[in-house]
Amino acid sequence: MFDTRENIWAAFWMIGAAILIFALIPLLQTLPPRGRYLLIAFVTFIAGLFFAAEFFLPVDEKTGKNFLTDPFQRLQGSLQVITALSLGLGTYGLIRLHLRNAVQRRAQWGYSIVLLVSFVTMAFFSVWNTLAEKGLLGVQRTPLLERAFTLLFDYTLVQLDATMFSLIAFYIFSAAYRAFRIRSVEASILMFTAMIVMIGIVPLGKFISDSIGLPIMMTDEMRTNPFALETILYSLRLPEVANWILNVLNAPVQRAIEFGVGIGALAMAIRLWLSLERGIT
């Protein structure tokens, strides 16, 4: 069934871990809420402590590691397992919900049927494709698989995903036309800044600046004389103004915002680590 002995052992480990995890779920359910909370809070605290300690503990000059670095790297594998489990849990929840919708003929149950059929079809060909790609279970790539997967992935999923995102452009256009009104000084500044950046960063900005006769290049002479008319005119080129806005006005503001977000994230992390957030049970 598998290529090597290592894979067989890996499969045993995975099955064992899955059994253990599925056995833990009813065990957790039997605990009273307080006990469940304490258990989860304890595990969360230990996990957080491990990550924080690995980051803050000094490292050996030669190896660049501390005693937690190697276990930290091994954790990457367990994180993949947790991600896979959460994906499995999400899939289970989604299918259960839509199966119930379809069976009980709830409102708009037809969409649930579409979802289930799409899900099963895509999953079937994706798994088949992955097995063929990796040469697992002796599965071979066939013309049917090639055609079906290309049709489903390249010509359906990718295109639908891209279309969904592209629709934002239409909403932005409509919203900008309806909502972007100059009702205050701040709104006026915002609008004119946005316009300069929008035109300045595209080739049209360069074209307009060239067309109205603004200097094309910054010469050495212009650099030495910042108040010369030529230098001032060069600075008024739309791409230069747009770059100045992005580098001189935007960057410090972004830095300030990120600093604030960082402090907020730190506070939030401490609350999560100490299980002070609600809904832990």
Partner 1 sequence: MEQRTLWSRMMAIDRRILYLILAVNIVGALMARVVLEPNIPPAVRSFYETIEALQPGDIVMVSSTWSAGTLAENQPQFEAVLRHLMRKRLRFTIISFTPPARDISHRLARRLTREQGYVEGKDWAHFGYTPDIVLAVKGMSEDIAQAVRQDVRRVPIQQLEVMRGIKSLKDYKLVVDITPSDTLTAWISFRPRDLKIIYCPTSVMAAEAYTFLDSKQILGMITGAKGAYEYEHLLGIVGLGTRFINAIQFSHVLIITFILLGNFAMFMQRRSRS
Is residue 258 a contact residue for partner 1 (CB under 8 A)? yes
Q: Which is nearer to partner 1, 56 or 170 (CB)?
A: 170
Q: Which is nearer to partner 1, 100 or 223 (CB)?
A: 223
Q: How many residues does the chain have?
A: 281
How many residues touch partner 1 (CB under 8 A)? 56
Burial class (CB in 10 A: 0-12, 13-18, 19+), 112: buried
Q: Which long-range contacts (CB under 8 A, 24 or more apart) does 17-22 make?
A: 17/81, 21/85
Is residue 182 a contact residue for partner 1 (CB under 8 A)? yes
Is residue 281 a contact residue for partner 1 (CB under 8 A)? no
Element (H, E) at 207: helix 203-211
According to CB under 8 A, which one of 198, 229, 266, 270 is a site residue for partner 1?
198
Is residue 8 a contact residue for partner 1 (CB under 8 A)? no
Distance CA 172, CA 167 (A): 9
Q: Identify the CA nearest to 234 among candidates 193, 259, 206.
A: 206
Q: CB of 206 within 8 A of CB of 238?
A: yes
According to CB under 8 A, which one of 89, 212, 251, 270 is a site residue for partner 1?
251
Is residue 9 a contact residue for partner 1 (CB under 8 A)? no
Q: Identify the CA nearest to 200 among candidates 153, 159, 169, 241.
A: 241
Q: Taking CB under 8 A as the rule, which mask of x and - marks residues 97-136 in contact with partner 1?
A: ------------------------------------xxx-
CA quadruple 231, 234, 240, 242: dihedral sign: positive
Is residue 178 a contact residue for partner 1 (CB under 8 A)? yes
According to CB under 8 A, which one of 173, 219, 263, 269 is a site residue for partner 1?
173
| Residues within the interface to partner 1 (CB under 8 A) | 64-65, 69, 72-73, 75-76, 79-80, 83, 133-135, 153-154, 157-162, 164-166, 169-170, 172-174, 176-178, 180-182, 191, 195, 198-199, 201-207, 239, 243, 246-247, 250-252, 254-255, 258
